[in-house]
């Protein structure tokens, strides 16, 4: 059988600042049969995306295809000139990017953008392209497929935008689609919807795919075969089940093991320390205000949380539940409409500008994307010494010595001191991000999705680092995530956020079993398992949900009512649920007595 994609001895080189070249991809050979999905997996910098983009005849600025052959659907891509390549891209092969939010033009309607490839490649006249777009919206299980295209990107969720981007990639009916980490930034429940939509449409149309990812549980659901890459070279390849269940290469085994993150056996022992941070009746929103000064649209509504000194509180929930808004509010970057923040026993002003220098020093943020907060023109040493000078007045040799100590604390070699962020890997940049926060000598660190974009090996190392810092420095943390594995690896306690409400608080170690809020059960059951067939099982279970149409959510009603199979009619939709104490200090906001909630078995959600 002739392969639809054939890569033989591919080499891609990049140019250093001094003009010399370095190999990015080295002697890579692979084949993809028609109708097959191939997964490219490996850590950051392994060459996954570089190889995937080379199938389209594209390399990043400063790089070049320096050797080998690339054949896709009968085209020798490595020999194509610019004009044929423009016709080839988008028509024969199309691309689905990782971040749909930044790929769409915010000033244009989605319908106009989705049909653009069909019009620019002269595949269909406008009227037919519009009809095909609606058919694709329907196939992608998008709400209101006839009218959703009239909306703008900012009006849709991340999962909806990702499916719309797939529709745009499919509208020309290409033979090959490249998926570049399309579900990395999605929460677990949205990820299931997107993966199932992708898989169903590709199977129906017999499209060949290449799926770039570092999430091995996703690989198990979507890929027929997998190629493991390291340092730009293939270290293992074969059927997905064999690569994931019986890896042969040492690095492949390391990658699989890293995907099974360690779990804390129990919550921290001993009495609960006094809180370093307490939030009381926090309300954040926008729009018109009522007589009490409360906004009509609320992102956070009545939040009550506390972080014990020296402990890690995990905040988990779907995209849009208010996690990042919570972090911004605590940091003083987002104004609150009501409620109080007490930090180290004193009230904290809502705006960061009105906080004292000492309060600002003691509360630090480690952002998700280190590239957005580390100045690419400065050396790592200069970045750290700036913080040390600003908060502690350290200069010269004293500042340098402290900066080197911080690098050692986050397990980075001292040689990093003279390097700049663009010269570092994703994991190294995130460690520098940590060191910069620690340079202030804080009491509380806000970690906002710090492992979301990292591969399993690097993510496991960052989580281990966080746990060690907590143990050695007595650091208090709020750990924002949508990854339950990461949460259980480092957190003492967890708060489950939905629609701006805390629906449950419990020990992190108990989250995978026992009695929980129905929404917590949904999150746990949505954690992908690293075995083929898991997605089919979950999809079948969810199709059995409830036959009755969900009631509208009234002000004060349970935020989960529209998806809850156990909802009580005329109560859950408009009566605020009471907070019921559970075992081990758990608190669950639900109208059902805890005895009526079915227990969650460990095997139901543990991967």
For residue 249, is it within any domain? yes
Cβ neighbours of residue 174 closer than 8 Å, sequence gap 6 or more: 90, 91, 92, 93, 94, 207
Query: What does the pLDDT average to over 89-104?
Result: 88
For residue 499, is it within any domain? no
Tell me what pLDDT residue 530 has: 86
Residue pair 376/421 in contact (Cβ under 8 Å)? The answer is: yes
Residues 214 and 285 in one domain: no
Cα–Cα distances (Å) from 217 to 130, 212, 239, 244, 546, in that order, read: 35, 13, 14, 9, 28
> How would residue 445 be classed by pLDDT, with cut points 50, 70 and 90?
very high
DSSP state of 499: T
Count Cβ atoms below 10 Å from residue 486 Cβ, excluding itself. 24
Residues 99 and 237 in one domain: yes
Tell me what pLDDT residue 312 has: 94
Tell me what pLDDT residue 6 has: 96
Query: What does the pLDDT average to over 269-294?
Result: 88
For residue 3, is it within any domain? no
> How would residue 371 be classed by pLDDT, with cut points 50, 70 and 90?
confident
Residues 162 and 118 in one domain: yes
Query: What does the pLDDT average to over 129-138?
Result: 93
Q: How far apart are CA 323 and CA 393, in angstroms?
A: 34
Tell me what pLDDT residue 262 has: 55
Residues 390 and 432 in one domain: yes
> How would residue 550 be classed by pLDDT, with cut points 50, 70 and 90?
very low
The percent of residues in the chain predicted with pLDDT above 70, rounded, is 95
Q: Cα dihedral sign for 123, 127, 130, 131?
A: negative
Task: Give the pLDDT confidence of 466-514 residue by residue, as tens digits.
Answer: 888 888 888 999 999 888 888 888 999 999 999 899 999 999 988 888 8
Tell me what pLDDT residue 604 has: 47
Residues 280 and 150 in one domain: no
- Take residue 408 and report the two structure tokens written for it: 């050692």
For residue 548, is it within any domain? yes
Reply yes or no on whether the pLDDT at 382 is more than 80: yes
Residues 205 and 335 in one domain: no
Query: What does the pLDDT average to over 34-43?
Result: 93
Task: Give the pLDDT confidence of 201-230 residue by residue, as tens digits.
Answer: 888 888 999 999 988 989 999 999 999 999
Reply yes or no on whether the pLDDT at 264 is more than 90: no
For residue 524, is it within any domain? yes
Residues 196 and 293 in one domain: no
The last residue of a domain, from among 224, 258, 292: 258
Print the domain residue range for 130: 35-63+81-258
**pTM of the full structure:** 0.83
Residue pair 77/70 in contact (Cβ under 8 Å)? The answer is: yes
- Take residue 402 and report the two structure tokens written for it: 């402290």
> How would residue 425 be classed by pLDDT, with cut points 50, 70 and 90?
confident
Tell me what pLDDT residue 62 has: 86
Reply yes or no on whether the pLDDT at 83 is more than 90: yes
Residue pair 315/478 in contact (Cβ under 8 Å)? The answer is: yes
Residues 417 and 540 in one domain: no
For residue 482, is it within any domain? no
Tell me what pLDDT residue 111 has: 93
Residues 196 and 310 in one domain: no
For residue 108, is it within any domain? yes
Q: Cα dihedral sign for 23, 24, 25, 26?
A: positive
Query: HSE (CB half, 13 Å, CA atoms) of 467?
Result: 19
Task: Give the pLDDT confidence of 323-360 residue by residue, as tens digits.
Answer: 989 999 999 999 899 999 999 999 999 899 999 999 99
In the chain, count of helices (H) and strands (E)?
20, 22
Residues 432 and 311 in one domain: yes
Domain harbouring 188, CATH code: 3.40.50.300
Q: How far apart are CA 26 and CA 22, in angstroms?
A: 10
Residues 168 and 207 in one domain: yes
Tell me what pLDDT residue 181 has: 86
For residue 543, is it within any domain? yes
Q: Of 512, 517, 533, which Cα lies nearest the Cα of 606?
A: 512
The last residue of a domain, from among 207, 227, 258: 258
Query: What does the pLDDT average to over 269-295?
Result: 88
> How would residue 51 be classed by pLDDT, with cut points 50, 70 and 90?
very high
Tell me what pLDDT residue 543 has: 65
Structural domains counted in the chain: 3
Q: How far apart are the first and last CA of the chain?
A: 36
User: What's the mean pLDDT when you consider all of the chain?
Assistant: 88
Reply yes or no on whether the pLDDT at 549 is more than 50: no
Residues 532 and 390 in one domain: no
């Amino acid at each position: 059988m002739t392969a639809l994609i054939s890569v033989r001895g591919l080499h891609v080189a990049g140019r250093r600042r001094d003009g010399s070249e370095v190999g990015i991809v080295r002697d890579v050979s692979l084949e993809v049969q028609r109708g097959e999905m191939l997964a490219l997996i490996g850590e950051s910098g392994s060459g996954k995306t570089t190889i995937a983009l080379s199938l389209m005849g594209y390399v990043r600025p400063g790089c070049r295809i320096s050797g080998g052959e690339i054949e896709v659907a009968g085209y020798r891509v490595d020999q194509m000139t610019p004009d044929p390549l423009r016709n080839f891209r988008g028509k024969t092969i199309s691309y689905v990017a990782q971040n749909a939010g930044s790929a769409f033009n915010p000033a244009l309607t989605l319908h106009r953008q989705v049909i653009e490839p069909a019009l620019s490649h002269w595949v269909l006249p406008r009227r037919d392209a519009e009809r095909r777009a609606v058919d694709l919206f329907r196939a992608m299980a998008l709400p209101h497929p006839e009218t959703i295209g009239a909306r703008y990107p900012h009006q849709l969720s991340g999962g909806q935008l990702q499916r719309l981007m797939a529709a745009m990639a499919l509208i020309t009916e290409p033979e090959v689609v490249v998926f570049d980490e399309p579900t990395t930034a999605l929460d677990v429940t949205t990820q299931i919807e997107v993966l199932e939509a992708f898989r169903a449409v590709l199977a129906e149309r017999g499209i060949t795919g290449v799926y770039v990812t570092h999430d091995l549980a996703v690989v198990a659901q979507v890929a027929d075969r997998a190629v493991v890459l390291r340092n730009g070279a293939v270290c293992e390849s074969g059927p997905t089940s064999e690569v994931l269940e019986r890896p042969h290469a040492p690095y492949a085994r390391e990658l699989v093991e890293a995907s099974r993150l360690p779990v804390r056996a129990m919550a921290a022992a001993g009495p609960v320390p006094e809180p370093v941070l307490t939030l009381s009746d926090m309300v954040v929103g926008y729009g018109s205000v009522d007589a009490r000064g409360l906004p009509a649209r609320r992102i956070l509504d009545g939040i009550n949380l506390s972080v014990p000194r020296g402990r890690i509180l995990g905040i988990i929930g779907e995209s849009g539940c208010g996690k990042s808004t919570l972090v911004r509010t605590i940091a003083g970057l987002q104004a609150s409409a009501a409620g109080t923040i007490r930090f180290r026993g004193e009230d904290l002003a809502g705006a960061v500008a009105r906080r004292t220098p000492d309060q600002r020093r003691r509360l630090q943020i480690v952002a998700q994307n280190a590239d957005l907060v580390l100045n690419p023109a400065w050396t790592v040493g200069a970045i750290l010494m700036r913080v040390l000078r600003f908060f502690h007045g350290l200069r010269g040799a004293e500042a340098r010595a402290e900066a080197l100590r911080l690098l050692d604390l986050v397990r980075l070699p001292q040689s990093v001191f003279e390097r700049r962020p663009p010269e570092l890997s994703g994991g190294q940049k995130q460690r520098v991000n940590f060191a910069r926060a620690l340079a202030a000598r804080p009491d509380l660190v806000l970690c906002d999705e710090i492992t979301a974009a990292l591969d399993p090996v690097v993510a496991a190392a960052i989580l281990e680092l966080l746990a060690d810092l907590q143990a050695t420095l007595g650091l208090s943390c709020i750990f924002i995530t949508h990854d339950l594995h990461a949460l259980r690896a480092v957190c003492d306690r967890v708060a489950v956020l939905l629609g701006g409400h805390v629906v449950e608080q419990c020990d992190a170690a108990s989250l995978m079993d026992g009695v929980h809020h129905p929404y917590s059960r949904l999150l746990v059951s949505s954690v992908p398992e690293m075995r083929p067939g898991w997605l089919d099982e979950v999809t079948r279970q969810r199709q059995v949900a409830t036959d009755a149409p969900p009631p509208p959510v009234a002000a004060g009603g349970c935020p989960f009512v529209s998806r809850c199979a156990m909802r009580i009619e005329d109560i859950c939709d408009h009566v605020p649920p009471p907070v019921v104490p559970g075992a081990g200090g758990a608190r669950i906001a639900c109208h059902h007595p805890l005895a009526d909630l079915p227990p969650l078995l460990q095997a139901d959600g543990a991967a």
